[in-house]
Amino acid sequence: MAEHEPQQGEQDLEKKIVEIRQRFKNELLKDSTDKYDSRDVERIEQEDALVEAYLTWRLYVVDDTLKMIDESLLWRKEFGINDVSEGTIPRWMFESGAVFLHGYDREGNKLFWFKVKLHIKDAKTVVDKKKYVAFWLERYAKKEPGMPLTVVFDMTESGLSNIDMDFVKYVINCFKVYYPKFLSKMIIVEMPWIMNAAWKIIKSWLGPEAIAKLKFATKAEIHTYIGAEHLPPHLGGSDNFKYTYPPLPDDDFQTPLCENGPMAGEDDAESKEGEMESRDALESSFNSEIVAKPKKVNFLEESLRSEDGERDTNVRVKGVRKPLTTFKGLLLDVSPSEELSFGSGENEKKCLIILSNVTKNQVAFKVRTTAPEKYRVKPSSSSCEPGASVDIVVSLHGGSQASPQDRFLIMAAEMENTGSQELTQFWKDVQKNKVMEHRLRCHVLDSVKSAAVPHRDSLGETSTNGQQELSTTLMRVMACNSRLEQKMNSCLWVQKVLTGLVLVLLALNLLCLYLLGTAQRPS
């Protein structure tokens, strides 16, 4: 019986998704096809994950889901969200540093910072400010689809002049209506006591489904949610990151602001990459599984064409788990598609990335990581022949441990005129709009538990599913209780009104009887 329950749940979900699409077409698109942006309509019609996100956020209530989709798509068209870019927003907003993405919380969620002291209420710029917030959210949605955000309102040194209730309500609506399932939690840091009344109003806007995500923290308590390495010094952390515009080339999300911007500042990046490759060549001699070669990392381009190279590749790839999923790209197919899984066991400290050339030309590629001190990538830069594949081994260096915050960036560009062109020069000359990018995040395996109790994996999954179902059920009950409470309040109000009317009628009747009695009395 238990085996059929997940299947039944999936079938119910699919039915609701189909129902939503049918009603979306028949009810919301009935009046006009120009009501929404056609690109958003296409996403609703084609992307199951997007519809499911709206559905789960509205506790699987179809009517509420359709209402949310309607509000979200109307907003997206009103603000032209699909066309918002760096060029459509005033430069001074980027230079202010009031809003930006940087760092991760203890659960591996990206941090979305709001420096409240830098915000001043101004009716003339409110639309641009709202587009600015949407710019960062759209940017994150494209880079990390399906991954939640942790919003941090840093209220250090802020005062009443920095509080803009309309703007705060807009930010809350972004997560409540416009971007479903995006919000992991919202942390209010160092809130001045004078703003307690304002935040009570703001808290009421969140609704029951998001109240649990709101956290108030002092400078000492913020460490519960965010590690010191991702906190600025004024909050007791050790992260000396300073937002700049144009951004520095060492931050995964500040660079690029334009789509293929990692190529910006390439001279500095290449010099750093050269240093990394030199270290790799020295440190590889300590690794018994890697044949040391007195060349740069791109030696694989030539060695793949020889029998020696094939043997070398086989030695390096031996013992590394092969990926099971594949991302289909315009230039390269990348396996795995989303995650590199690392653990503490010896056989879990290496991962394999397979790049397959799907073009008719040679494709140059390079791999970057947000934690170069922890990982060794072999090869980190090379090229792939038409129809061929390249195996890239990513290994943890020394006693380093993988973290969910770590990311890898794969960049690829088609080499139409191969000849004897150096890869370094090629990457300097290549046009940014011709560079394909694909990002991989790290997944940390629970090696100890899986090794000690391998037969309990299915039980663990069942337990997790059960917890999720219980959580969903509780949220539904809370939502039902909230609706019942509202109805009871309405009934009580109607009852009071009716009671008042009855008392008025009774008073009128008594007055009439009194007047009749007075009129009949003999003079």
26-35 pLDDT, tens per residue?
888 877 667 8
> Has residue 412 got a pLDDT over 60?
yes
> For tokens 């890239």, what's the residue?
392
For residue 109, give both structure tokens: 């969620």
Report the alpha-carbon angle 106-110-113, nearest 5. Answer: 105
For residue 214, give both structure tokens: 């709101």
More confident: 197 or 152: 152
The sign of the torsion formed by the CA atoms of 9, 12, 18, 24 equals negative
Task: Give strand pairing partners of 187.
Answer: 152, 215
| pLDDT-based confidence at residue 206 (cuts at 50, 70, 90) | low
Instruction: Determine contact, residues 320/326, Cβ cutoff 8 Å.
Output: no
pLDDT in tens, 91-122: 888 888 888 888 889 888 889 999 988 888 77
Instruction: Give the mean pLDDT of 122-131.
Output: 85
The sign of the torsion formed by the CA atoms of 447, 451, 453, 456 equals positive
- Give kind and range of the element (H or E) at residue 411: strand 407-415
Domain 86-235 top-level CATH class: alpha beta
Mean pLDDT of the chain: 75
Rounded CA separation 514/345 (Å) = 96
More confident: 303 or 126: 126
Rounded CA separation 210/522 (Å) = 74
**Identity of the amino acid at 499:** T
Nearest to 227 by CA among 103, 58, 413, 361: 103
Report the alpha-carbon angle 40-44-50, nearest 5. Answer: 105
pLDDT in tens, 364-377: 999 988 888 788 88
Q: Which long-range contacts (CB under 8 A, 24 or more apart) does 253-260 make?
A: 253/101, 253/102, 253/110, 253/139, 253/140, 253/143, 254/100, 254/101, 254/102, 257/86, 257/94, 258/86, 258/432, 259/432, 259/433, 259/437, 260/432, 260/433, 260/435, 260/437
**Identity of the amino acid at 68:** M
Give the chain's count of helices (H) and strands (E): 15, 15
pLDDT at 205: 66
pLDDT in tens, 239-249: 888 887 766 54
- Give kind and range of the element (H or E) at residue 498: helix 457-520
At the second CATH level, the architecture of 327-444 is Sandwich (2.60)
Burial 232-254 (b: 16+ CB within 10 A, else e): beebebebeeebebebebebbbb
Burial 197-228 (b: 16+ CB within 10 A, else e): eebeebeeebeebbeebbbebeeeebeebbbe
pLDDT at 476: 64
pLDDT at 472: 59
Reported as half-sphere exposure (CB side, CA atoms, 13 A), residue 503 has a value of: 6
> Has residue 226 got a pLDDT over 90?
yes
Burial (0-12, 13-18, 19+ Cβ within 10 Å), 125: middle
pLDDT at 52: 86
Nearest to 135 by CA among 176, 167, 90: 90
> Has residue 352 got a pLDDT over 70?
yes
Please state, for a pLDDT cut of 70, what percent of the chain lies above it: 72
> For tokens 């509000």, what's the residue?
71
